[in-house]
Amino acid sequence: MADTQAIAAAFEAALQSDDFEAMTKLTMEYASDDFIQNWPQSGERINRANSLKLFESYGERTGTSPTFTYKRMLGGGDLFVIEGTIDYGDGVPVSYVGIGELRDGKVARMTEYFANPFPAPEWRAAFVERT
């Protein structure tokens, strides 16, 4: 069984470096054979082989090179959560949350959410603190 602390440290280092290629390599190195990546907002599910192919062709197909700003990673045992923002080249920081599930020391599933910023309604101003 793999050392989950070592896996977490490797992923955190790649996330902090904004290196999507390193992240993909780590995912493939530590992914289970039946690894699944879920994108609930678009209704897409990607297996291990296609996840790698998607990454390899992303820049060519989209004309963009996203940058990732790491916020934090939380978790323990067989579950971890990654928070950050992604800029797809237009200067708009898209909020990112990834939920990873480990099985037998391997990443078995990643469920990822991407949220575009939106203006807060004025009626909530008295109840919230703006960040």
Domains annotated on the chain, with CATH: 4-117 (3.10.450.50)
d(CA 109, CA 74): 16
Residue 16 has pLDDT above 70, yes or no: yes
pLDDT by residue (tens digit) across 54-67?
888 887 888 888 88
Share of the chain above pLDDT 90, in %: 56
Q: Name the pTM for this structure.
A: 0.86
Alpha-carbon distances, residue 31 vs 20, 26, 93, 114, 118 (angstroms): 16, 8, 28, 22, 34
Report pLDDT for 86: 93
